[in-house]
Chains A and B, each alone.
Chain A
Amino acid sequence: MNSHLIDKLFECIEYGKINFASPYPPNMKGLPGADEITKEALEAGVTPNEILNRSLIAAMDKVGKKFSEKKIFVPQMLLSAKAMSISMNHLKPYFADGTVKRKGKFIIGTVFGDLHDIGKNLVSMMVEGAGWEVIDLGVDVKTETFVEKVVENPDAFIGISALLSTTMTNIQPVIEAIKSVSPNTKIIVGGAPLTADFAASIGADGYGKDPGEGIVWLEQQFQSIN
């Protein structure tokens, strides 16, 4: 029974069946979605950890692979991310009371001067779906805000994005400020005008050209400390 719910939830996330009212996918029309099934699973005694690992993370991992293999496209991935996010809302109390442990914290923001957030939001949701706690600082994030959050969360990994060639140069002072208060903090950068060479030249520890690369980098960091 429990296993059935885990599989159903996995399927809802894979195909983006958000809730009962969602008409998509057509073969699941009129059936409960990620919202209702997560609730039902918790009431039936499925542990939040099982839900997170066997449904949410596993489904988003499959979605990410399908996207990398060009079997699905960005809108489909975003719909899955939304279903995952709706399900995740039910797990938040268990994160807060420590019942469920996530892989770590990931602080993300678009660098100061830049207001672009679509790519950053996508990374944020995919990283959350990969089992990380995400602290999203939004757009036009000042250096002091990044530093403040790093001090509050010394074990967190940091992601900084920029979408303009004029604002990508703002990332370097942010990295320097973070490293000056927390030299061991690892920072990944991304955004359309950036390259791996540029990331290395400004002192970033990693570069992600898409959300998938960002998640792989985070997994490597996770493996290296565990």
Chain B
Amino acid sequence: MSESFHFFQFSFKDVAPSSDEVFQFINSTGIEDEHPSKVFVLEILRELENIEGISGGYKIKRDISVSRKDGLIIVDNEDLHTGKQISGYLKDATSLAVFLCTAGPVFTKTVNTLNRNGDIMEAFLLDAIGSLTVEKAMDIIQENLTDEMKKEEMSVSNRYSPGYCNWELNDQKKIFSLIGSNKVGVSLTDTCLMIPEKSVSGIIGIGNVLQKYNYGCKICNNSSCVYRKIVHDK
């Protein structure tokens, strides 16, 4: 049975990070309020209020099998080489939600303009706001999925993306193929870079005896990973 894509659209105020969250995210909580970085973040958060294009969604896939030994999850006959870490977390999953979410094109466009003008501090801060915005939008989508699955007495896992937790980034192409056509408007370059850049894609496990494991940051070297930052801040 082919599942439909559950589509969500957000206004910026639904998913906007606070100034404190931005500075926590960039590990810069000790900066005084008068610093231009603080002033810029407050101003830009106000300016972003009317931006459009923040959207995302998921599609449920019920035809799956998970092999922890092989570090493999097969979805609709598509092999996802997630690695042993993620397949271990999802060993009890009986379905998967394949997701896609974007903060829209405004962030990349404005970051590029700021960089060109030499405003690299502002570019750095706006880039961080974009990363947080898409993760917050995805949080809401995941909450919706959790609520929906509760009705079927199912629980859901954390979300996992190609490029993280030792899952090869190349599998992003398969994620896009599994999602199929949708209204989110994210494309993929040959090197698996999502355009707009402030976008996320991946999988969430679903099952009735599924346990939610913490991310395995302790055994991962990627110090700039968004999941590491988010999970450690909570």
Which residues of A approach B to under 8 Å, CB–CB? Answer: 16, 22-26, 73-76, 78-79, 81-82, 85, 113-115, 117-118, 121-122, 125, 164-167, 170, 192-193, 195
Contact = CB atoms under 8 A, between A and B. Distances in A.
A79 B32 CA distance: 14
B121 interface: yes
A78 B222 contact: no
Q: Report the 6 A-B pairs with minimum CB-CB distance, sorted nearest first.
A: A75-B37, A73-B28, A78-B121, A113-B191, A192-B224, A166-B169
Interface of B: 26-28, 30-31, 34-37, 111, 115, 118-121, 123-125, 127, 163, 168-170, 189-193, 197, 221-224
A54 B124 CA distance: 28
A166 B124 CA distance: 23
B221 A195 contact: yes
Contact of B30 (A22, A73, A115, A121): A73
B36 A113 contact: no
20 contacts: A23-B34, A24-B36, A25-B34, A75-B26, A75-B31, A75-B37, A79-B35, A79-B36, A79-B121, A81-B120, A82-B121, A113-B191, A117-B115, A118-B111, A121-B115, A164-B192, A166-B169, A166-B193, A167-B191, A170-B191
Nearest to B119: A82
Overall SS of chain B's interface: loop
A113 B123 contact: no
B223 A192 contact: yes
A73 B34 contact: no
B230 to A, nearest CB: 16
A125 B119 CA distance: 12
A193 B193 CA distance: 14
Contact of B191 (A23, A81, A85, A166): A166
Given A23-B36, A73-B28, 17 more contacts: A16-B36, A23-B34, A75-B31, A75-B37, A75-B124, A78-B121, A78-B124, A113-B191, A114-B193, A115-B193, A118-B111, A121-B115, A164-B169, A164-B191, A170-B191, A192-B223, A195-B221
Contacts of A75: 26, 28, 31, 35-37, 121, 124-125
Contacts, number: 89
A75 B29 CA distance: 11
Nearest to B40: A75
Interface centre among A75, A114, A192 (most CB of B within 10 A): A75
A70 to B, nearest CB: 9
Contacts of A167: 191, 193
A78 B191 contact: no
Contact of A74 (B26, B119, B169): B26
B78 to A, nearest CB: 18
Contact of A165 (B120, B169, B197): B169
Contact of B28 (A74, A118, A121): A74
Contacts of B222: 192-193
A24 B35 contact: yes
B103 to A, nearest CB: 16
A183 to B, nearest CB: 28
Contacts of A166: 163, 169-170, 191-193
Nearest to A75: B37
Contacts of A79: 35-37, 121
A125 B120 contact: yes
A121 B119 CA distance: 11
B31 to A, nearest CB: 6
Contacts of B224: 192
A176 B193 CA distance: 24
A24 B37 CA distance: 10
A118 B193 contact: no
Contacts of A74: 26-28, 124
A114 B163 CA distance: 14
B91 to A, nearest CB: 24
Given A82-B118, A117-B115, A76 B31 contact: yes
A75 to B, nearest CB: 3
A25 B121 CA distance: 16
A117 B168 CA distance: 22
